[in-house]
Structure 1
């Protein structure tokens, strides 16, 4: 008889134990789209203008590359709503800010880089981190976090450097890590290096 009860209890235990199990479904991993081809296309289009006057100014150069790369930054129609004055670079910044596409760490090739207060005319009136006066396109990021960017400066599209880890140094271990954005007195030269004007990065769509 004892054996009979033990068998019944064992059976009930197994049945109730199974009934408590629930099927746990693991959600599928979120797969981020590979935008490398798009970024490489932007890079190729930007670098083919290196050393040339194409675009006419910093925002004109970005607009040219944007058009050649199938508008990864903005369309003309949407940009028109974000002008505060004649500065296209500021309008691009305003648009990306509205779309939550501005960021400050871990830049990517093909993204934009914004600078503020590089033009004295605007810096005097409103000197702030979002007083955008210059713009470029990121071409490379080194292991030491030196960011290379192409921008229209001194009448041509040239490549400059910026390293936010060493904001007051032009060179580090015999390597150029920061470029001058404008001329400064020798004793205050670090105030004219790229990190002093950095505002934000802007991602592609």
Structure 2
């Protein structure tokens, strides 16, 4: 029991998962919402993951990938790990190597990356990819709704790059906090955002 408790505590503060055996597998001014209404080749159901448990954020993405015919093309992930062995960083490296990292135009189904979100990295100046999620939808005002795993639970959060330093506007949440026990603007998702991982096919997301 003591070991299990220590393991859970370590997972909370170490960010997203580290390397495991793979299972086969900058100023931002606007978000182009037109991308959310393109003709779709595939339907990705993210709603069914909300409220469920996962080991961490990259495990959630890995599960979604496996259950949806390798939609994120993670089969070649093993050669993209950095020395820290973090899977979220490896996925980012893979997409960057294919020129599939975009900083402005989000589409439903895209991966979304964040930097320095852990206790050990939150004060670093270099960008270490420590968190990952999946874009679910883009609202009319540019607010992005994304699915990710935070402290073991799959949840929906919001990010609006047009209001990077605001948590709420007129009582409406536009940017979630992403770092534990931190409620200043540096801990907003908008100020830890590191890009979208663009997928190669048009999909519908629900």
Where on the TM-score scale, by shorter chain, does this alignment land: which range?
0.7 to 0.9
**Offset of residue 175 of structure 1:** 1.8
What's the CA shift for 1:194?
0.5
Q: Does 1:192 align with 2:187?
A: yes
CA contact 2:145–2:158 (8 Å) conserved in 1: yes
Change (3 A) 1:146 1:80: same
The answer (yes or no) to whether the contact 1:184–1:191 under 8 Å persists in 2 is: no
Question: In structure 2, what is the equivalent of residue 47 of structure 1?
Answer: 47
**Structure 2, unaligned runs of 5 or more:** 1-37, 201-206
State the shift of 1:123 in Å. Answer: 4.5
In structure 2, how many angstroms separate the alpha carbons of the residues matched to 1:133 and 1:83? 13
Where does residue 80 of structure 1 map in the other structure?
Answer: 78
The answer to whether 1:37 aligns with 2:34 is no
Q: Answer yes or no: is 1:133 the counterpart of 2:130.
A: yes
| Higher RCO (C-alpha 8 Å, min separation 6) | 2
Higher helix share: 1
Q: Specify which of 181, 198, 201 is matched with residue 203 of structure 1.
A: 198
Deviations 1:50-82 (A, max 9, x none): 10103x100000000011111121233x10000
Q: In the alignment, which residue of structure 2 is the partner of 1:104?
A: 103
TM-align CA RMSD:
1.7
Structure 1, unaligned runs of 5 or more: 1-33
Q: Output the CA distance in 1 between the equivalents of 2:157 and 2:57.
A: 13
Q: Secondary structure at the match of 1:48?
A: helix
Equivalent pairs, count: 162
In 2, distance between residues paired with 1:89 and 1:137? 12
SS at match of 1:59: helix
